[in-house]
Amino acid sequence: MACCFLVSTEAEKKAKKEQILEERRRTHTAAKEIRLQTLAEKQAQKKTQKPPLARKKAPKKATTATIITIGSSTDKGEVDEALEVEISIMEMGAATPARSRRNRKPCLPKRFLE
């Protein structure tokens, strides 16, 4: 009789553990659904808002640098015009980690996309 009693408690423990795990799964699924819904709402708001002037990206400015090479001339003030080279240098700003994080787009499921 004691053996049957132990089996029932083990079965009860298993059932209780399964019930707890199922409850966790449901809670996790509900939280994920809410999180995805808020992300979809935020994306919709960002699409409708105009960016403030301070955040608009300024066009890349091209600066020019002149490299002068002095050829074999007797006068140091003379510059051989054929050897004068004008180079256009683009100012390239590397993406900072904060900017990279802001530019990331979360991948939402299709049901949240309009």
How does the average pLDDT of the chain come out, rounded?
70
Q: Give the pLDDT confidence of 47-66 residue by residue, as tens digits.
A: 888 766 655 555 555 555 55
Count of domains for the chain: 1
Q: Is residue 10 part of a domain?
A: yes
Task: State mean pLDDT over 99-114.
Answer: 72
The candidate with the shortest Cα–Cα distance to 112, out of 48, 33, 49, is 33
Question: Over 80: is that where the pLDDT of 37 sits?
Answer: yes
pLDDT score recorded for residue 9: 87
Torsion of CA 101, 106, 107, 113, to 10 degrees: -140
Handedness of CA 68, 69, 75, 80 (dihedral sign): negative
Q: Is residue 64 part of a domain?
A: yes
What tokens were used for 86?
A: 């004008």
Q: Is residue 49 part of a domain?
A: yes
Query: Rounded to whole angstroms, how far apart are CA atoms 14 and 7?
Result: 11
Q: Is residue 101 part of a domain?
A: no
Q: Is residue 98 part of a domain?
A: no
Q: Is residue 109 part of a domain?
A: no
Question: Over 80: is that where the pLDDT of 113 sits?
Answer: no
Q: Is residue 84 part of a domain?
A: yes
For residue 46, give its domain range. Answer: 2-71+80-91
Q: Is residue 105 part of a domain?
A: no
